[in-house]
A and B are shown apart, each in its own frame.
Chain A
Amino acid sequence: SQQGEEDPQALSIQEGENATMNCSYKTSINNLQWYRQNSGRGLVHLILIRSNEREKHSGRLRVTLDTSKKSSSLLITASRAADTASYFCATDRTGGKLIFGQGTELSVKP
């Protein structure tokens, strides 16, 4: 069964605004990863945060992890039209098996 749940399912913002996506999961994890997918193509890895980390940054991306609430958030600051994509969180299981959330479809309007 899918472990990750994401909200919102869809998000539409204007260029320059910030976009926040949330992910919740059910069991303990080793790490959580965020991916981007453009128009049903391959997944691009964005960032990995480990269970002992609370926050991580990469360029315009900021990821937080709250293991007590079993949740994570992805913040994209100063969004651009090129950020339009689907965003997925994925938690690891043993042996490198990932469980994906349902994804958030982000639309950034110029």
Chain B
Amino acid sequence: SAVISQKPSRDICQRGTSLTIQCQVDSQVTMMFWYRQQPGQSLTLIATANQGSEATYESGFVIDKFPISRPNLTFSTLTVSNMSPEDSSIYLCSVEAQGLGQGSTDTQYFGPGTRLTVL
């Protein structure tokens, strides 16, 4: 399985500031995904990040609020901009095993998450 790390693991931020979350994979992958999990809720896809192209955002999420970078095949960042308490969530990145060259499986692996609290 893929080894996926995220930084920071948690943070407490002030309203109006921005936080950049990093996701590092130990193998090259084409697609990386960013999810949000609000307190007590399930996961919702924010965007898909492909290397060399603009991220594709899901309904309800916009680039101005959640800019994403994908500078290479092992790394991506998600920025939560102009934060409000409603942005308090766990943010997770994921990759497909297929993209890791692990056969034809469509299994997705997730990073450990970044727990964000906005005051």
| Cβ-neighbour of B115 out of A31, A40, A45, A95 (below 8 A) | A40
Contact A48 B106 (CB under 8 A): yes
In the complex, are the beta carbons of B1 and A45 less than 8 A apart?
A: yes
Q: A92 contacts the other chain (Cβ, under 8 Å)?
A: yes
Of the stretches A67-75, A76-84, A99-107, the one at the interface is A99-107
How many whole Å from A95's CB to the nearest CB in chain B? 6
Interface residue? B67 (CB, 8 A): no
Contact of B92 among A4, A30, A43, A90 (CB under 8 A): A43
- For residue A25, CB closer than 8 A to chain B, the reply is no
Q: List 7 A-B contacts (CB under 8 A).
A: A2-B44, A40-B90, A45-B107, A45-B110, A90-B43, A97-B33, A102-B42
Q: In the bound complex, do residue B1 and residue A95 qualify as a contact, i.e. CB atoms below 8 Å apart? A: no
In angstroms, how far is the closest chain B Cβ from the Cβ of A101?
6
Q: Is B108 an interface residue (CB 8 A)?
A: yes
Give the shortest distance, in Å, between A69 (CB) and chain B (any CB).
21
What is the number of residues of chain A that contact chain B, defined by CB distance less than 8 Å?
A: 25
Encoded as 1 (CB less than 8 Å from any A CB) or 0, chain B from 53 to 74 comes to 0000010000000000000000
**Complexed CA–CA distance, A87 and B105 (Å):** 21
With A40-B90, A100-B43 given, is the CB distance from A95 to B106 under 8 Å? Answer: no
Contacts of A35 in B (CB 8 A): 110
Are B113's CB and A42's CB within 8 A? yes
Bound-state CA distance A88–B37 (Å) is: 12
> A60 — which chain B residues lie within 8 A by C-beta?
none
Contacts of A102 in B (CB 8 A): 41-42
Digitize B86-109: 1 where CB-to-A-CB distance is under 8 Å, 0 elsewhere: 000010101010100000011111
What are the 3 A-B residue pairs with the smallest beta carbon separation, nearest first? A42-B112, A43-B110, A100-B42
Measured CA separation A53–B44 after assembly (Å): 26
Instruction: Give Cα distance in the complex from A35 to B109, angstroms.
Output: 10
Contact A42 B106 (CB under 8 A): no
- Interface presence of A24 (CB below 8 A): no
Contact B42 A96, beta carbon cutoff 8 Å = no
B48 within 8 A of A: yes
Name the distance in Å between B42's Cβ and chain A's nearest Cβ: 4
